[in-house]
A and B are shown apart, each in its own frame.
Chain A
Amino acid sequence: MTNITNSAATSIAIKNGRVIDPANNIDSNTNVYISNGIITHIGDKAPADFSADQTIDASDKIVCPGIVDMCARLRDPGQTQKGNIASETKAAAAAGITTICCPPDTSPVIDTTSVVELIRSRQESAGMTKIVPLAAITKELGGENLSSMASLKKAGCVGVSDGRKPIANSMVLRRAMQYADTYDLKVFLSPIDPWLSQEGCAHEGKVSARFGIPSLPEATETAAIARDLALVEQSGIKIHFNQLSTKQGAKLIAMGQKDGQKITADVSAHQLFFTENNLCSFDSAYHVRPPFRTIEDRDGLRDALKSGVIGAICSDHQPHEPDAKIGPFPTTEPGISALETLLPLTMKLVDEGLLNLSGAIKKITTGPATILDINAGTLAVGSIADVCVFDPDLEWALTENEMLSMGKNTPLLGQSMKGRATHTIIDGKMVFER
């Protein structure tokens, strides 16, 4: 059974696990020692002055940096019928996730420091997974007036984004990029052309043609990426593209990276497994934005992940109350409750031979931490002790009862998952153990 703990143990020894820390090229069977919130030692023998308050036997388990989720919506403040900071950070902690980056599209929007404070205080009282918020690029995500980025950075925002609201006006976006860069803030963009995204809810292709589902062409994404790359030019401004869905989009980003532009990208775990073909039953569980596209797109995204063009896998967690998913397909709300499947889906890529174990763990630890430029995703001695211990062979069924997130909206419901966190340590404290 699951136990959310908040043990007073200040010294933890994790013994006999396979320690994988891609940030430091470590992959060996050894022990990890934690004291006072810090990784103090990695090695077969404990340091001389170390005495463990708690010892974990991690035999047959993997010990890796705590998972960093590039993008998860916690629905708090504003949409607490779908989820709240307490419920979603608890679900995250139980899934091995120690840091979540949350987009600014809460209600109210993260465009004032008081909303950042509110999120921080709710996170602290929950005492689970840490939250790093993104600030809005424009006030109220309106696409017109810049938010107070410098103040928001001081308050703790790690980057700026307008969530899934595209900034139509190229001049506003260009100036926003320049202003953000003044404070060394990365700009996080969801590539969506505003005019090519009206009313669509499925990929424009064979399935939308067959079923008459209002559609989103590939160009919804590629036109936006091409414009945004053009706006960056050779300015050195750092931008990140959230949740790619097309092979062609990944290609454009690869070209930009080759030209020396400071561009990064992520993909949601579900985009690496599902395609437009999953829509044939009108099942609203598959309703996501960006939409599931073709098999070629899925495989192109996998290639880009393998080659490093895409540096991170995120959950793109979007919990919903049941009513949001009940209705004819186009009328339902898009999104999947995905925190609890991030690790098993990433491990599935290892099973399927796309990535090796260390490579896969990199995409959910040091990969996203580097993109977000935060102190996380590493087991280096002296770093903050955010650690995930997981059993890669543990098979479990994803059921509504098993899910801790308030949102049970996932097409994987009822399916068997492989790989599950057994211990989650945040700031040196055991917050969860199974």
Chain B
Amino acid sequence: MNIQLTKDGKLKHFLTTEGLSKEILTEILDTAENFSSVANMPVKKIPLLRGKTIINLFFENSTRTRTTFDLAATRLSADVINMNISTSATSKGESLLDTLRNLEAMSCDMFVVRHADTGAAHFIASNVAPHISVLNAGDGQHAHPTQAMLDVFTLRQQKGAFEPLSVAIVGDIMHSRVARSNIHALKTLGVKDLRVVGPRTLMPKDIEDLGVEVCYDMKRGIADTDAIIMLRLQRERMQGELLPSESEYYSMFGLTEEKLKLAKPDVTVMHPGPINRGVEIESSVADGKHSVILQQVTNGLAIRMAVMSLTLGHQSEESA
């Protein structure tokens, strides 16, 4: 049984893109499509989730991601509470489960969770009251499913069909929940040529098992691709036993104008942000005509609105 689905197979929690059908992923994309016009309306608010309470539970700091979840919920007319747990409960020694019980007692409808530990969102979804939906806003190195959905949404806007695409994900695959969620989503949606590119120290052993091709050579990895998803390299990983230096990384795996010529002429360049200019990507590429980085941010809102409305919608159907 998939913990993410209701008895009749609809989305209840959104924890990972893995194990969800093409139909469900497409439903999320289509719903997001409908919501993208909201941003252009004079009154940017629809009453879909009026009376619902959403708690943003961030055990790991992230202003940007939290803000888009916050805004998505607000646009759907839900009430939003932001909790920055890293600075409150856990530092007082309260257990994760106790924190959950306390918040549940405030009769909320959804938790949006970000946590530094792999599996945290699953743990919370397995332990919350049955009427609560859980959205994973990133857990450890495991999954960041809304980021992946906004990436594939952006890709669909750019390219249309997924099947014929060649896509490369470049950078720190090992520590990246964005990479993992993107791999599952892109494979399910039909991308056949999916490559992961990076130095071997940042490449998980046996990642081929997920149906990707591993390239340690950036030039071969991005050759003739339709889209390149660049990953952010955490500053603490730039020097040490994983990489010798920022500059060597940039020279080998940074996306420059020069290297970009190897991809297809209409290649789409994506990045989950925030970008490290001159570390993983050249400024002129980040701001150039192939880049859709800001469009990704805009789309993030529509995707999060879609997932919130779908999960809470199915929830009320089930309890009805």
Question: Does B131 lie at the interface of the complex (its beta carbon under 8 Å from any beta carbon of A)?
Answer: no
Q: Would B205 and A217 count as touching, CB distance under 8 A?
A: yes
**Given A323-B95, A327-B95, A327-B123: A213 touches B206 (CB 8 Å cut-off):** no
CB closest chain-A residue, reference B19: A280
Question: Does B117 lie at the interface of the complex (its beta carbon under 8 Å from any beta carbon of A)?
Answer: yes
Name B129-174 residues within 8 Å CB distance of A: 139-143
A214 to chain B: which residues have CB within 8 Å?
A: 118, 140-141
**Given A209-B204, A210-B180, A212-B142: A331 touches B209 (CB 8 Å cut-off):** no
Q: Would A328 and B120 count as touching, CB distance under 8 A?
A: yes
Give 1 or 0 for each of A19-57: 1 = CB within 8 Å of chain B CB: 000000000000000000000000000000000000000
Q: Would B142 and A209 count as touching, CB distance under 8 A?
A: no
Distance in Å: Cβ of A141 to nearest Cβ of chain B: 26
Question: Does B39 lie at the interface of the complex (its beta carbon under 8 Å from any beta carbon of A)?
Answer: no
B117 to chain A: which residues have CB within 8 Å?
A: 327-331
**Given A327-B95, A327-B123, A328-B123: A209 touches B118 (CB 8 Å cut-off):** no
A374 to chain B: which residues have CB within 8 Å?
A: none
Q: Would A328 and B18 count as touching, CB distance under 8 A?
A: no
**Given A323-B95, A328-B139, A329-B117: A282 touches B122 (CB 8 Å cut-off):** yes
Total contacts A to B, CB within 8 angstroms? 75
Q: Would A213 and B118 count as touching, CB distance under 8 A?
A: yes
CB closest chain-B residue, reference A210: B210
A212 to chain B: which residues have CB within 8 Å?
A: 118, 140-143, 175-177, 180, 204
CA–CA, A205 and B143, complex, Å: 17
Name A317-350 residues within 8 Å CB distance of B: 323, 326-331
CA–CA, A217 and B201, complex, Å: 13
CB closest chain-A residue, reference B181: A212
CB closest chain-B residue, reference A276: B206
Q: Would B97 and A326 count as touching, CB distance under 8 A?
A: yes
CA–CA, A206 and B212, complex, Å: 13
Q: Would B119 and A206 count as touching, CB distance under 8 A?
A: no
Q: How many interface residues does A have (CB within 8 Å)?
A: 21
**Given A326-B95, A326-B97, A330-B140: A209 touches B209 (CB 8 Å cut-off):** yes
**Given A326-B97, A329-B123: A211 touches B205 (CB 8 Å cut-off):** no
Name A109-135 residues within 8 Å CB distance of B: none
Question: Does B207 lie at the interface of the complex (its beta carbon under 8 Å from any beta carbon of A)?
Answer: yes
CA–CA, A204 and B140, complex, Å: 16
CA–CA, A35 and B307, complex, Å: 74
Q: Would A211 and B119 count as touching, CB distance under 8 A?
A: yes
B204 to chain A: which residues have CB within 8 Å?
A: 204, 208-209, 212, 215
CA–CA, A211 and B176, complex, Å: 10
Distance in Å: Cβ of B180 to nearest Cβ of chain A: 6
**Given A211-B142, A282-B123, A323-B95: A330 touches B118 (CB 8 Å cut-off):** yes
Q: Would A206 and B97 count as touching, CB distance under 8 A?
A: no
Name B10-68 residues within 8 Å CB distance of A: 18
Question: Does B75 lie at the interface of the complex (its beta carbon under 8 Å from any beta carbon of A)?
Answer: no
Name the residue in A204, A208, A209, A213 with the highest tally of chain B Cβ atoms < 10 Å from its Cβ. A209
Name B196-228 residues within 8 Å CB distance of A: 204-207, 209-210
CB closest chain-A residue, reference B177: A212
Q: Would B209 and A328 count as touching, CB distance under 8 A?
A: no
B81 to chain A: which residues have CB within 8 Å?
A: none
CA–CA, A330 and B180, complex, Å: 18
Give 1 or 0 for each of A286-327: 1 = CB within 8 Å of chain B CB: 000000000000000000000000000000000000010011
**Given A282-B123, A323-B95: A328 touches B118 (CB 8 Å cut-off):** yes
Name B266-320 residues within 8 Å CB distance of A: none
Question: Does B114 lie at the interface of the complex (its beta carbon under 8 Å from any beta carbon of A)?
Answer: no
CB closest chain-B residue, reference A323: B95
B177 to chain A: which residues have CB within 8 Å?
A: 212
**Given A326-B95, A328-B117, A329-B118: A209 touches B139 (CB 8 Å cut-off):** no
Question: Does B103 lie at the interface of the complex (its beta carbon under 8 Å from any beta carbon of A)?
Answer: no
Distance in Å: Cβ of B185 to nearest Cβ of chain A: 14
CB closest chain-A residue, reference B209: A206
B242 to chain A: which residues have CB within 8 Å?
A: none
CA–CA, A210 and B97, complex, Å: 26
A210: which of B18, B96, B115, B175 is its contact (CB, 8 Å)? B18
Q: Would A205 and B206 count as touching, CB distance under 8 A?
A: yes
B123 to chain A: which residues have CB within 8 Å?
A: 282, 327-329
Q: Would B95 and A282 count as touching, CB distance under 8 A?
A: no
B140 to chain A: which residues have CB within 8 Å?
A: 212-214, 328, 330
Distance in Å: Cβ of B72 to nearest Cβ of chain A: 25
Give 1 or 0 for each of B105-118: 1 = CB within 8 Å of chain A CB: 00000000001011
CA–CA, A234 and B96, complex, Å: 52
CA–CA, A101 and B80, complex, Å: 56
CA–CA, A205 and B205, complex, Å: 6
Name A178-223 residues within 8 Å CB distance of B: 204-206, 208-215, 217
Q: Kindly list the 7 A-B residue pairs having the minimum CB-CB distance in the complex, ordered from nearest.
A: A212-B141, A209-B204, A282-B119, A328-B117, A328-B120, A329-B119, A212-B142
| B residues with CB within 8 A of A | 18, 95-97, 115, 117-120, 122-123, 139-143, 175-177, 180, 204-207, 209-210
Q: Would you give 21 A-B contacts (Cβ < 8 Å), ordered by A?
A: A204-B205, A205-B206, A206-B209, A209-B205, A210-B18, A210-B180, A211-B119, A212-B118, A212-B142, A212-B176, A212-B177, A212-B204, A217-B205, A327-B95, A327-B96, A327-B97, A327-B123, A328-B139, A329-B117, A329-B119, A330-B119
